[in-house]
Structure 1
């Protein structure tokens, strides 16, 4: 593994990154997304299976690292209460999944918004 903490996180496998995401978000109580200049959030549609998802990160640094390739995106914080109250129902209604912490290999954990909410609530119970 690298000496760079971001690289170490991004080199984890999908399940390890998902567990890391849960523990960090449960502690910090915020989720990071990327938005463009019009404040529209980044949505990705998988070429493989056509699944549309919102990529999320536990820290702004990880989102910024991902955005370097895109150029015009910036990180935006969403508080966990807002995420649970507004985003989970909205993403579910729009048929969007959540892509948790994309790794260097392009692999990520894709989950339904309600499932992520339940997992985060369980993780918060241990704090």
Structure 2
């Protein structure tokens, strides 16, 4: 992906990036997170609402772009079946939301793990 394409997608609004995320994830069958050197996933707390969430991306390139300037964050893929079977129940139990595809100004779509799973499954059925 060229840097122009990367920038164009990152400049989309939250809803457009959410739709892009759903399509890209269904095509690749992977969701990307960032992990640190201790193999712990990145978890953020929204300053405005105090909502704890795990940011996710549709590809390694987008996750790496987000991690630029950080020495200890690396993209890691989670297969869609693993996300559905392990991550959704785990995130729900830990009361963590999912921050779908942070954009250029740090904007993102925050949703529950169950809702993201439902949206992905709906998209799959029409794929």
TM range (shorter): over 0.9
- Which residue of structure 1 lines up, in the alignment, with residue 26 of structure 2? 26
The answer on 1:115 being equivalent to 2:115 is yes
Q: Which residue of 2 aligns with 1:85?
A: 85
- Structure 1: 5+ residue stretches without partners: none
Pair 1:14-2:14 in alignment:
yes
Gaps of 5+ in 2: none
CA-to-aligned-CA distance 1:79-109 (integer Å, 9 cap, x gap): 0000000000000000000000000011100
Cα distance, 1:3 vs. partner?
A: 6.7
Counterpart Cα distance in 2 of 1:121 and 1:69: 35
Provide the secondary structure at the position in 1 that maps to 2:64: helix
* SS of residue in 2 equivalent to 1:18: helix
3-state SS in 2 of match to 1:39: coil
Q: Say what the alpha-carbon RMSD is for the aligned residues.
A: 1.2
Shift in Å at residue 122 of structure 1?
0.8
Q: Assess if the C-alpha contact under 8 Å between 1:27 and 1:124 holds in 2.
A: no
Cα deviation per residue 1:49-108 (whole Å; 9 max; x = unaligned)?
A: 110000000000000000013221000000000000000000000000000000001110
Identify the residue that residue 95 of structure 2 maps to in structure 1.
Answer: 95
User: TM-score w.r.t. structure 2 length?
Assistant: 0.96
Match of 2:61 in 1: 61
| Kept in 2: contact 1:84–1:117 (CA 8 A) | yes
